[in-house]
A and B are shown apart, each in its own frame.
Chain A
Amino acid sequence: MTTIELQKMANEVRKGIVTAVHGAKAGHPGGSLSAADVVTYLFFEEMNIDPKDPKKADRDRFVLSKGHCAPALYSVLAHRGYFPVEDLPTLRHLGSYLQGHPCMNETPGVDMSSGSLGQGISAAVGMALSAKLTNESWRTFTLLGDGEIQEGQVWEAAMFAGAHKLDNLVVIVDNNNLQIDGCIADVCSPYPIDKKFEAFNFHVINVADGNDMAQLEAAFKEAREVKGMPVAIIMKTVKGKNVSFMEDQAGWHGKAPNDEQYAVAMEDLKKVGDALCQK
């Protein structure tokens, strides 16, 4: 896809996120919106996957370690053709295959159940290790929140990945700078994030704007070329990106918009879409 096509798709993914969370009357829009661009890039451009064969043995794997951002994953999977986009509003409803946090046995395209923070990265490390052990060429991607990296297990996993030189693993940190209780630096600062991953023997790629498709493209191209080390992409993003009243607001970490707010959010995203069509 071209960059503009990817941008348009990311905007559709955002509409899906807002619609899903509105339908659920609960969920996590803020961090889903900050990650919309990167999941769009991964599922539409970077990863070797087939929506018609979600369990294809040699597919690339994706683990949403920040599992609460399931709306972003579900929206991108739906738009990629794994299941109908119309099902997104069933998120979190009783009987829905779209559980509040990703469940690999319920939802096509979900490679690992996640939601308890810090564990997804370890599972991703297990997948990458598995590919190495039997000389398979598929790669593993995992997306973490910047608050999530306060979990000690993240660093157990990072130490292992670095020590085992898992260059088939890409760890992405969505650095939107906010967690439930506020700014990550105020709660318990994980900064400097890049230097930490460097110390754990990662090749670190800093992305100044992780909501910029061109910058993401450059980062993932660089990641492909890295040999002998795992890659960490630390991307600065805006929580709640492109929904005016949600942007950079910790309060929108885990809250659903009401009907009025939903209308405003969809109007905001329509404007973004219209602007992209002008390009």
Chain B
Amino acid sequence: MSEVKKIATRQSYGNALAELGNEHENLYVLDADLAGATQTGIFKKAFPDRFIDCGIAESNMISIAAGMATTGKIVFASSFAMFAAGRAFEQVRNAVGYPHLNVKIGATHASISVGEDGATHQCNEDIALMRTIPGMVIINPADDIEARAAVRAAYEYVGPVYLRFGRYAVPVINDNPDYKFEIGKGILMREGTDLTIVATGLCVSSALEAAEKLAEDGISAEVINIHTIKPLDEDIIVKSAAKTGKVVTVEEHSVIGGLGGAVAEVLGEKQPTLMKRIGVYDRYGESGSAAALLEKYQLDGKGVYAQIKDFI
């Protein structure tokens, strides 16, 4: 996969906002002093009058977005996942979620692929936090194409959406003419019969790489891309689990409460299946390059392959 084009989904976010801004005058973007990092700076440059920097005050930013949404404007509020979902959790819950306001939260720099900044900035808990908020849509795109489609879908959807993006450049894997993004619809990336790998975000590409290696060992792995963690596409997961009888989830997030938790909840109730949750194992991250961390935490293709081999 060395020839594959790589783009960080945060950059896709910034580009998509600028494209949408061109089409829709009611689109506004808020940031909390991280426009350069979240890439909302691309929108700011194109539409300075519709970009508001709230300064380093994420809680206030989220509540401001809520207030703006009550007046009919469509607001994307951006910060790092740690601060958007973590620091401002209660504002997201009470000011956005409870009144079901039309606010889009663009959270970048999710999880360990933040890299060198280390544990304080590597949010492995945001999906778990956001999942508990009634009515919240959670989208964790796998690549540039999916990320841009997700931003567009979030704009069109009426209600709160949490969008999760990464800092690290990831391979473009959805560049096929049939690609279609629909909120709440998983995508079958590869058919298989021996086990199901359910992956999200940058781990979809790791899962595909692992499936490739497993095939060399004579193991046929099905790979499902779950870009929307809530609402979860239960059908695609249950059907595949019934077919293969083994399910592995792969995510760059804590194994508690994220994709692994969501899939376990569904299968536990609808299709009890032996499972392995691959992710960040109830621990904090640390400093290092994104590539080195993904390798250490066994979330790259090689690591996912090794963990699946241990499981089966």
Chain A positions within 8 Å of B50 at CB level: 133
Q: Give bound CA distance, A254 to B50, whole Å.
A: 42
Chain B interface SS verdict (over half)? helix
Q: Nearest Cβ in chain B — how far from A71, in angstroms?
A: 20
Answer whether residue A160 sits at the interface, using C-beta atoms and an 8 A cutoff: yes
Are B91 and A119 within 8 A (Cβ)?
A: yes
Are A113 and B68 within 8 A (Cβ)?
A: no
Q: Nearest Cβ in chain A — how far from B94, in angstroms?
A: 5
Answer whether residue B102 sits at the interface, using C-beta atoms and an 8 A cutoff: no
B53-61, B203-211, B257-265: which lies at the A interface?
Answer: B53-61
Answer whether residue A190 sits at the interface, using C-beta atoms and an 8 A cutoff: no
A75-83, A104-112, A236-244, A245-253: which lies at the B interface?
Answer: A104-112
Chain A positions within 8 Å of B64 at CB level: 122-123, 125-126, 129, 157, 160
Answer whether residue B90 sits at the interface, using C-beta atoms and an 8 A cutoff: yes
Interface size on B, residues (CB 8 A): 28
Of the candidates A123, A133, A134, A153, the one having the most CB atoms from chain B within 10 angstroms of its own CB is A123
Q: Give bound CA distance, A157 to B72, whole Å.
A: 21
Are A112 and B67 within 8 A (Cβ)?
A: yes
Chain A positions 89 through 120: 1 when the CB is less than 8 Å from some CB of chain B, otherwise 0 = 00000000000000111000001110110010
Answer whether residue B98 sits at the interface, using C-beta atoms and an 8 A cutoff: yes
Chain B positions 99 through 135: 1 when the CB is less than 8 Å from some CB of chain A, otherwise 0 = 1100000000000000000000000000000000000
Are A122 and B67 within 8 A (Cβ)?
A: yes
Closest B residue to A67 by beta carbon equals: B94
Partner of A130, one of B54, B55, B67: B67
Are B60 and A112 within 8 A (Cβ)?
A: no
Q: Nearest Cβ in chain B — how far from A234, in angstroms?
A: 21
Closest A residue to B62 by beta carbon equals: A122
Are A126 and B65 within 8 A (Cβ)?
A: yes
Are A160 and B54 within 8 A (Cβ)?
A: yes
5 interchain pairs (CB within 8 A)? A57-B72, A63-B67, A122-B60, A123-B95, A126-B65
Given pairs A112-B99, A116-B95, 19 additional interface contacts (CB within 8 A):
A57-B72, A63-B67, A103-B98, A116-B90, A122-B60, A123-B64, A123-B66, A125-B60, A126-B63, A127-B68, A129-B64, A130-B73, A133-B49, A156-B55, A156-B59, A156-B60, A159-B57, A160-B60, A163-B55
> Closest 9 A-B residue pairs measured CB to CB?
A126-B67, A122-B63, A156-B60, A123-B67, A126-B64, A156-B57, A130-B71, A113-B99, A126-B68
Residues of B within 8 A of A (CB): 28, 49-50, 52, 54-55, 57, 59-60, 62-73, 90-91, 94-95, 98-100
